[in-house]
Every structure is written in structure tokens, then in C-alpha cells.
Amino acid sequence: MKEKIKKHHLIALCLLCLTGTLCWLTGVQFLSMRKTDTFYPSPGLSAQTKLSDYFPQLADSPGDTAVYCFRGEEEGGNLLILGGTHPNEPAGFITAVLLLENITVSRGKIFIIPQANLSGFTHDDPFEGNPQKFSLETPGGRRWFRFGSRLTNPTHQWPDPTLFTNAAGQALSGAEVRNLNRSYPGKEKGHLTEQIAFGIMELIKKEEIDLSLDLHEAAPEYPVVNAIVFHENSAELAAIASMELQMEDIDIRMEASPPSLRGLSHREWGDHTPSMAILLETANASHGRLKGKPSEALIVEGKDPNYVKASKLGMLFVPYSKDGIPIKERVARHLAAVNALVSGLRELNPDQAIDIGNFPPAQTVNEQGIGLYLHPPK
């Protein structure tokens, strides 16, 4: 007996096809975030390795990020620069890219990881309405970069626990299990994010890094912004650098890393390795809770009328005018701070001096834009 196909079955079939089509259309857009960014390392590059060279378990995982190594001919200090711990904080990421595409090192060693949480670059946060990428103009054309999420992609690390207990035993909300800067010192057999953290710790130990820098951005309403956050082992260095920055008319806050706040780079790097540990913050309106309409322009130009209003109400921890805080200014700040910290390191301990050539000058970047120092797209 043939059962008659009823109307609601046909509707169901149509809806199922529609669902499939919508999955296809949006899926293509979501998957476009997995296309990797292209970087053009400077001729000074000595070796390009992967984090899995330091922690083999990461091999072929979505967390196995590139490590760019610049070795000088003379012995000196060892420096690690991390960008992209939070892929929605582009100034840190772009500063790292700018350095790896320009510098040469004649003394000491520099390791640059531009996309510390590579998985976070492959998706966007729900509810934030952010664009998937942003572009910067170079003399030879426009370069595009991904604008990702603060957290590891949930399809790479699933499910989140109800509560995330960090290595120090503190409870955090479950989603923080995908936050690289809450996962240090990491776990060999932990979640992907903890393994990335573990890999970075291994790099710091094996390469005997003297100074480790983690480049971030924060919302303008957040108290720790335009700041050097330092582990107690780096207090003197941070003080020297901040004085140098003040002399260049760059206001910067000094924030000691609170001993009770665990899992963060500036705490655990310093506690678990001999390296000095410092985190740098600039002010990014596209990152904040008061932001207006999210857009590529908000990321690059950093102009937001909501923040102008908030500034007038005295709610911000940085000066904010209608000109906004563009990414070139934020990157210039990071560059100036890195430069000041490197010269501070030389002053403190001449054996750890690092000589860097072609360092993109902060002032020029601020005045003429980042594109001047970015390799044109091929």
C-alpha cells in the first residue's frame, strides 16, 4: 500500500532544503576565516619554525602556530614577542607582523609569534557583530588581516566545562577555558588552549628567553589600558622603559601583576621560568562594551562617538577625542614600548643586549601609517 505524501511532509522537505542552503551559504563565510594570513618575513629571518617544534603534541593541531626566529651573529639577550594572544586585539598582532617583516638582528635572538592563539583567528564572537577581516593600505596595494575572537574556536575545543579551574585551582567561567591568557602555565595533556600555553612555556624555557612580551589591547573603559603590566621580576626594567617612554611624550601606566590573578602570561611566565615577563596594553574602541556600530573603520581608525561621549562623562582611562585612537597610533605605542624595553634590558644587563636593525620607528608609523612598513601583497 502506497502512503500518500501529505502537505506537511512537502513543507518539511522544502524547509530542510532551505536549512541546507542556509548552512551552505553561511558555512562558506564561516570557513573563509580558516584561510591563513600571508606574512612576508624580512631578509633578516634566520628560521621559521612551529610551536610544535617545542611541544610535538601540537603538530597538525589548529593551535600549531608559526614562530619566526631572528638570530644575530653576536651573543646577546633572547627576546620573545607574542602577538595575537587575543585575535580581537589587532594592534598586538599587527605590531608583531610589522616587526617580523622589517627587522634584522645583529646581536642576540628574537622570537616572534604573531598569532599566538591561531585557532582564535578562525572564528568570530557571537553577539559582537564584528567584521571578519580588516585591511591596511600599503604602497603596493591593500593587505587584509583576519579579525578573530578572544577565545579558541569552539569547534577546535569542545565542549567547554561548566567551570574552568585554572592550574592554580581558581574557578573561572567555563568559556575562559578557551582563553590563552588564562591558561598559563598550560598543561601537557590539557585542552588545546592549555597545550598552546604549555608550548609557549616550553619555547621560553628551551630558548632561554630573557625577556618575554605579550602584546594586547583593552577597552578604553578598562582601568589597565595604555599600560605596562609587569611581573615583580621585571619591575626595574618596566620602570626604566616607562621613563624612556615619558621622555618621548608617551604616557604609560605602570601596573604590577597581581599575585592572586593566575593563569595570565605576566604572572605565570615570571613564576615558572627565569624570563622577565611583561604585558603591554593599548586602547581599542572596537573591543569595548560601549562601542557603537562595529566596522572595519572602527578597528582601523578607532573613531566612535559613544566613546567620545563616555570620555566627556569621565568614564574612560585614556584620553579619547573625536579623532579616535587609530590602529597606527596603537601600533606605534607598542613599537615604542618594545624599543624602550629592549634598550632598558641593555642598560640593566649589557650581556643581554639585543641589537635590532630596521626597527620601524614609532613616530613615523604614527604619522605616516603602518602601510609604509608592511610588505605589499603579492
CB of 44 to other proteins, least distance (A): 37
CB of 150 to other proteins, least distance (A): 10
Q: Is 293 in the site for other proteins (CB under 8 A)?
A: yes
Residues in region 154-173 near other proteins by CB under 8 A? 155, 158-163, 165, 170-173
What cell numbers appear for 71 in the block?
Answer: 638570530
Cα–Cα distance list, 76 to 201, 234, 344, 346, 350 (Å): 21, 18, 14, 9, 8
Q: Is 254 in the site for other proteins (CB under 8 A)?
A: no
Q: Is 1 in the site for other proteins (CB under 8 A)?
A: no
Task: Please give the angle made by the CA atoms of 230, 235 and 241, to the nearest 5 degrees.
Answer: 85
Q: Is 124 in the site for other proteins (CB under 8 A)?
A: yes
- Closer CB to other proteins, 28 or 247, in the complex: 28
Q: Is 126 in the site for other proteins (CB under 8 A)?
A: yes
Amino acid 246 reads Q
Interface map 312-351 toward other proteins (x if CB under 8 A): -x-x------------------------------------
CB of 75 to other proteins, least distance (A): 38
Select from 1, 127, 249, 378 the one that contacts other proteins (CB under 8 A).
127
Q: Which residues bind other proteins (CB under 8 A)?
A: 8-9, 11-13, 15-16, 18-20, 22-23, 25-27, 29-31, 123-124, 126-129, 132, 155, 158-163, 165, 170-174, 176, 191, 221-224, 258, 260-262, 289-294, 304, 306, 309-310, 313, 315
